[in-house]
Structure 1
Amino acid sequence: MIKNEKIKASEVYVTGIEGEDLGIMPTAEALKLAKQLKVDLVCTSLLSSPPPCQLIGAGAARQKQQQDAKRDRPAKLKEIRLTASIEDHDYETKQQQARRLLQSGHAVMLVVKTGNTKQSTAARKLLEDLLRDLKADGRPTTGIQVSGKQSMVQLDPLN
């Protein structure tokens, strides 16, 4: 985030504090206006000419920078472990846990532990049921993978 005297362009496209369009003006004039209003002139993008700048209060600029940093953070992969023979109440609990993680922006790896090959079909059915129930909150990035004594699938959040 480039602000105030660090903006090197000769003229900038300025947007006011309330979002009103102030038009294109020389950078020195825009800085003078920012000082009069006791706010910062913040450049929002360097890709266009003249660069768009916005008049933002000092606290709001810092808060916006923190929000942008938080939004750019990569999502963590959280693992939820289940067993093939799961009770209805436990299924609901794990489903709610996965939904909560997906809604908060995390990717979820659903892992079903199995004891033998007979349970692997039950594990596959359990994962298919979970995928159907969590369709509104996440989408699978991988298919259901069955390997040895476990079956798994990864869900990414929709937002």
Structure 2
Amino acid sequence: MVILSAFCYLVKKYRRCHSIKDLQINEQIRDREVRLIGADGEQVGIMATKEAQKIANDKRLDLVKVAPNARPAVCRIMDYGKYKYEMQKKEKEAKKNQKIINVKEVRLSPNIEEHDLNVKAKQAIKFLKNEDKVKVTVRFRGRELGHTELGREVLKDFAEKTSEVGVIEKRAKMEGRNMIMFLSPKKSQ
């Protein structure tokens, strides 16, 4: 029983090494032979993993498996902590440069008055100027559902009022009791 559970633990540990994102380092590398790349980037050659590990230990660096699918696997001698820190720094920088797009919603009804439509259009223009997308929803209640063409006309009129700063990304489409249209900001050139 104890031997079986220890075996299962080893099998799970071995499988986990292949499924996680982090690279295998030092004793986690189970290949017999590896193609070794030195700390300076020069190609050392194909050798036993234990030999490569010994070379890395002599230089007080880590042996890192960089190409696990290659035959034989490619390992590199490097400072793993420093490498991991650099990668985290790059990821953080990439996240910082991402543009977050928000979707704002404007709700209308099929029998909306002209002034109310203008107020909603001004609100949508403000959203579009802030580089946000706008989801325009016309809600149908009761017998209004039989006159969806009125909602389509309202959305068409709304799109014309906001055409200076926005373009239709997705045309008007029924979803349940609502008719939905998406507007996105015009590309400034």
Q: TM-score range by the shorter chain?
A: 0.5 to 0.7
* Aligned residue number for residue 181 of structure 2: 151
Kindly provide the amino acid, as one letter, of the partner of residue 152 in structure 1: F
- Looking at structure 2, the residues matched to 80 and 8 of structure 1 have their Cα atoms a distance apart, in angstroms, of 49
TM-score, structure 1 as length reference: 0.57
* Aligned residue number for residue 31 of structure 1: 53
* Aligned residue number for residue 62 of structure 2: 40
Report 1 or 2 for greater relative contact order, CA contacts < 8 Å, sequence distance ≥ 6: 1
Paired residues in the alignment total 128
Kindly provide the amino acid, as one letter, of the partner of residue 156 in structure 2: T
* Aligned residue number for residue 135 of structure 2: 111
1:65 to partner: Cα distance: 6.9
1:56 to partner: Cα distance: 2.2
Q: 1:1-159, aligned counterparts within 5 Å?
A: 1-63=23-85, 79-83=102-106, 85-86=121-122, 88-93=125-130, 95=131, 98=132, 110-114=134-138, 117=151, 118-122=153-157, 130=166, 143-144=170-171, 146-147=173-174, 148-152=178-182
Note the residue ranges of structure 2 that are not aligned, 5 or more in a row.
Answer: 1-22, 95-99, 107-119, 140-149, 185-189
- Greater displacement, 15-24 / 31-40: 15-24
The verdict on how the C-alpha distance between 1:65 and 1:119 changes in structure 2, with shifts beyond 3 A counting, is: same
- Looking at structure 2, the residues matched to 17 and 145 of structure 1 have their Cα atoms a distance apart, in angstroms, of 59
RMSD: 4.0
- Specify which structure has the higher proportion of helix: 2
1:69 to partner: Cα distance: 9.0
Question: CA offsets, 1:16-49, max 9 Å, x none?
Answer: 3343332322211211111122111111232221
TM-score, structure 2 as length reference: 0.49
* Aligned residue number for residue 115 of structure 2: none
Larger radius of gyration: 2
Are 2:172 and 2:179, in contact at CA under 8 Å, matched by a contact in 1? no
Equivalent position SS for 2:122: coil
